[in-house]
């Protein structure tokens, strides 16, 4: 006799739960035309401004389908699929008004007009999501609160090579249907003024942070594109943070990256402070890393007396090509121990997108993590330009050549490459490697991009 296999009670219970969802209508087709709203269920309450609707039809002409949501025809929002006599219409609908709602679906079947009705309620929180803003639910030119996850920050150029002094941070959207790539990546922007960033001390949120932004929702023209922007912003409330908080003015630090984006770490007091931005031709923290003593170097670095920057006449390969009249004969800022653990040299890293966002003060020392795609020797200044990938290049200033083609410039200056440097010649970054590089933030007003110049240490990481 064939033995019967015993089915566990838990399996039976699971099958019972799944059966209604998995049983095909083809197994038990209705005998007549039918129309039914399967979602939402009657009396459902939704904690947002959207509702998922699913309508099933059998032996009904889908061209005759009408879907009224609180009296407004919404059939155009539905995706309709048919398998034989069976038709399914699905859509996620955004609705501008909270409170009780009604869905009325109707169509013509073999026996005449068929219809079904569902009642539900929208009970949204006190904020909109970026997707609700993009769907047109939030009122434009009116006060709103939007909660979302930060993708990145960015800025605009007032003129060729001149940066505006405000910054945008961008809240992600999950559905980019009907949007250009740049609109989808932009999502909902929030504009912080220089006063808010540097005086009121509202930090620019980092990627991965979830924040609530309150302000006036506007549509702003960027070139030929219209994008949603909260401007002015009246408050930014952190909900969750992707990284530990940074020290503000007067807070403790051991290196620049322990401090807020616009602050330096004072190497004597080990406290964060506002400092003067160091431009392309600035000194100390200059393009060659030159120093006279430790005070000229960022916190955590030393001015090594056992190496002096040479002139091009003495060494045409490793001598100073930029600002030789100032640099020749000076010492070099260097990491005390290049073999120290990564966590000691760079306990916190940022991305190439963070660098291009414009969040960092010029001259700040940062640890940049990313992937290298090529290195090119520049015969004009004997720097090696190593380029790293950027995740979202289309939402930053274009640069010349465009950063969409060349990525982020991370430059190795001649004195650091010198084989007679007692710390060892600092090699060029290997293409294809994922690594961390320590160096100085620089704004190149000719190329119109931020770069790391020079870098003073690097290491390949997983």
Catalogue all structural domains in the chain, each as residue range(s) with its CATH number: 29-122 (2.60.40.10), 130-240 (2.40.50.140), 276-460 (2.40.50.140)
> What is d(CA 421, CA 272) in angstroms, rounded to the nearest whole number?
31
Say whether 4 sits in a helix, a strand or coil: coil
Residue 158 has what pLDDT? 79
Are 205 and 175 a contacting pair, CB within 8 Å? no
Residue 31 has what pLDDT? 62
Say whether 266 sits in a helix, a strand or coil: strand
Q: Is 70 left (phi over 0), alpha (psi -120 to 50) or beta?
A: left
Tally of CB atoms within 10 A around 428: 19
Tokens linked to 315 = 């060494």
Identify the H or E element spanning 117: strand 112-122
Q: What is the DSSP string of 90-142?
A: EEEEE-SS-EEEEEEEEEEETTEEEEEEEEEEE---SSB-HHHHHTT-SPTTE
Nearest to 113 by CA among 192, 218, 230, 35: 35
**Alpha helical stretches, state H, 174-312:** 181-186, 194
Tokens linked to 331 = 């010492």
Say whether 95 sits in a helix, a strand or coil: coil
Are 394 and 182 a contacting pair, CB within 8 Å? yes
Strands 66-69, 72-73: pairing kind: antiparallel
Residue 402 has what pLDDT? 94
Nearest to 384 by CA among 420, 427, 342, 424: 427
> What is d(CA 454, CA 387) in angstroms, rounded to the nearest whole number?
13
> What is d(CA 373, CA 363) in angstroms, rounded to the nearest whole number?
25
> What is d(CA 136, CA 145) in angstroms, rounded to the nearest whole number?
14
Residue 29 has what pLDDT? 56
Residue 6 has what pLDDT? 38
Residue 276 has what pLDDT? 94
Residue 110 has what pLDDT? 85
Tokens linked to 323 = 């600002």
**1-54 tens-digit pLDDT:** 333 333 333 333 333 333 333 334 444 555 689 999 999 999 999 999 999 999
Dump strand ranges (E) for 202-312: 210-222, 225-240, 263-266, 271-274, 290-291, 302-304
Q: What angle do CA 303, 304, 308 make, to 5 degrees?
A: 105
> What is d(CA 284, CA 206) in angstroms, rounded to the nearest whole number?
29
Q: How far is CA 17 from CA 11, 110, 239, in A?
A: 10, 33, 37
This prediction's pTM: 0.83
Dump strand ranges (E) for 365-433: 365-377, 384-388, 408-412
Residue 15 has what pLDDT? 34
**156-210 tens-digit pLDDT:** 887 777 899 999 999 999 988 888 899 999 999 999 999 999 999 999 999 999 9
Nearest to 255 by CA among 405, 440, 34, 54: 440
Are 325 and 311 a contacting pair, CB within 8 Å? no
> Which residues, 6 or more positions from 153, have their beta carbon under 8 angstroms from its beta carbon?
167, 168, 169, 170, 204, 205, 354, 357, 358, 359
Nearest to 51 by CA among 98, 108, 83, 111: 98
Say whether 133 sits in a helix, a strand or coil: helix
- The parts of the chain modelled with pLDDT lower than 70 are 1-31
Are 358 and 167 a contacting pair, CB within 8 Å? yes
Tokens linked to 163 = 């940066």
Are 217 and 137 a contacting pair, CB within 8 Å? no
> Which residues, 6 or more positions from 69, have their beta carbon under 8 angstroms from its beta carbon?
53, 93, 95, 101, 102, 103
> What is d(CA 72, CA 205) in angstroms, rounded to the nearest whole number?
39
Residue 30 has what pLDDT? 59
> What is d(CA 68, CA 104) in angstroms, rounded to the nearest whole number?
5
């Amino acid at each position: 006799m064939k033995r019967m296999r015993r089915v566990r009670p838990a399996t039976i219970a699971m099958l019972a739960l799944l059966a209604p969802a998995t049983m095909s209508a083809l197994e038990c087709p209705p005998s007549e035309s039918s129309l039914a709203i399967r979602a939402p269920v009657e009396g459902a309450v939704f904690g947002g401004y959207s509702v998922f609707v699913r309508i099933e039809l059998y032996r009904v002409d889908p061209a005759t389908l009408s879907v009224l949501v609180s009296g407004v025809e919404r059939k155009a929002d539905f995706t309709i699929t048919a398998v034989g006599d069976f038709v399914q219409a699905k859509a996620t609908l955004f609705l501008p008004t909270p409170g009780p709602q009604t869905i009325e679906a109707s169509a013509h079947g073999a026996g005449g007009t068929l219809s079904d009705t569902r009642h539900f309620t929208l009970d949204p929180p006190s904020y909109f999501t970026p997707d609700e803003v993009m769907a047109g639910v939030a009122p434009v030119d009116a006060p709103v609160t939007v909660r979302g996850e930060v993708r990145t920050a960015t800025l605009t150029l007032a003129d060729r090579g001149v940066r505006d002094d405000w910054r945008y941070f961008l809240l992600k959207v999950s559905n980019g249907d009907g949007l250009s790539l740049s609109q989808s990546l932009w999502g909902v922007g929030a504009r912080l003024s220089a006063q808010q960033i540097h005086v009121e001390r509202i930090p620019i949120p980092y990627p991965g942070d979830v924040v609530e932004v309150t302000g006036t929702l506007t549509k702003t023209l960027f070139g030929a594109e219209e994008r949603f922007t909260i401007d002015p912003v009246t408050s930014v409330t952190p909900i969750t943070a992707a990284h530990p908080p940074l020290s503000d003015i007067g807070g403790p630090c051991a290196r620049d990256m322990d401090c807020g984006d616009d602050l330096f770490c004072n190497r004597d007091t080990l406290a964060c402070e506002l400092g003067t931005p160091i431009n392309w031709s600035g000194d100390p923290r200059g393009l060659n890393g030159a120093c006279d003593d430790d005070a000229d170097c960022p916190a955590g670095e030393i001015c090594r007396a056992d190496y002096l920057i040479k002139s091009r006449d003495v060494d045409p390969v490793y001598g100073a090509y930029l600002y030789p009249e100032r640099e020749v004969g000076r010492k070099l800022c260097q990491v005390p121990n290049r073999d120290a653990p990564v966590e000691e040299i760079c306990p916190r890293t940022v991305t190439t997108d963070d660098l291009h966002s414009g969040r960092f003060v010029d001259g700040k020392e940062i640890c940049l993590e990313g992937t290298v795609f090529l290195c090119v020797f520049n015969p004009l200044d004997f720097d090696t330009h190593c380029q790293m990938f950027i995740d979202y290049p289309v939402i930053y200033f274009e640069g010349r050549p465009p950063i969409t083609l060349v990525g982020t410039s991370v430059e190795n200056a001649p004195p650091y490459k010198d084989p007679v440097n007692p710390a060892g010649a600092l090699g060029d970054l290997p293409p294809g490697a994922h690594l961390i590089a320590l160096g100085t933030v620089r704004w190149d007003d000719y190329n119109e991009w931020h770069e790391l110049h020079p870098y003073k240490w690097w290491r390949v990481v997983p």
